[in-house]
Structure 1
Amino acid sequence: MAAVGEEYSATNAFILFKDRSSSTDRALTYPSEKLVRTVGIVVSLIESILDTEAHKEGIEARIILSVMNSVDFAWLTDGCLVHHQDLKNGIVKSTVRITIPWWCKKQNRKMAHMGRQRAVKRKLRVLQHL
C-alpha cells in the first residue's frame, strides 16, 4: 500500500479518482511506487525477450526464469519476510501472463497494418500502369 504522499502521484491518479467517486472512505488500495516501477521493469524485460525469442519453445518458462534472476525484488523483504517469495512469484507470473498475450496482440496489429500498407502500394502500382 502506498504511503500517504504517494497516493497523489500520477501513477495513482486513476485509483484516486475512482476512490473519491465511491461512497465509502478509502475503499481502494493504492500500489506503491516501488511496485509500479518493478512491474514496469518486468514488462520491459519481457518485451525485449519476446522481440528476439518469441518463436522458441517454452518461452514462458524462460521469461519467468530470466525475470526472477534479473529483477531486484529486495524491496519486498522490507515488508514481509515470510511471504517474500510468494509475493515475488505472484508478481512475476501475473505480469508474464498479462504481458505475453498483450505483446502478441500488439505484434498482430502491427503486422496487419503493414499488410494493409503493402496492399495499398500494390494497388497504386497497378493504377499507375493503366
Structure 2
Amino acid sequence: MARDVQITFDCADPAALSAFWAEVLGYRLAAPPPGFDTWDAALDALGVPPERRNDASAIVDPDGAGPRVFFQRVPEGKSAKNRVHLDVRAAPGLEGDERMAAFEAECERLVALGATRLERHEPAPPLSGGFIVMADPEGNEFCLD
C-alpha cells in the first residue's frame, strides 16, 4: 500500500520559508481549519499567543497531487549540507541549451524571491542533462533539474 508523505523543513521563519516554497512549487498556503475564514481567527480560538503564531506553516498542491510541505520553527540554524534535497523539475521535456536556458530563467526568478545560486553543472550526456544548485533563503540546498 502506497503511503502519503509530508516533506518537513526545520527553519527559523516558517511563514517566510513557506511563502518562498509556495512560489517555487506553484503551491498555496494550507487553508485554515474548517469553520474559520483565516488562520488568525483559528489561532485566536485555539488560544495561541501572537509570539507563537509563526511556529509552523504548511503549503499544499492546489491540485492535491503533490505532497504537503510543512515548515516548523527550530531554535538552531542550519549547520551542514542537506542529506536530502528537493529537485525542482523546471524544464520538463527540454534538452541541451534550451533546458539550460529554462533553468537560467527560473534561477533568476527564484533569486529575486530570495534564493541563492550556488553552482551550475553543464550537461554531460548520457547521465546528466545539466542542473543548477541553489539554496533557499535559509540555506537549504535544492536543484533546478
Q: Same fold by TM (over 0.5)?
A: no
Higher-strand-fraction structure: 2
Larger radius of gyration, structure 1 or 2? 1
TM-score band, normalised by the shorter chain? under 0.3
Bigger fraction of residues in helix:
1
TM-score relative to the length of structure 1: 0.26
Q: Which has the higher contact order (CA 8 A, sep 6+)?
A: 2
TM-score by length of 2: 0.24
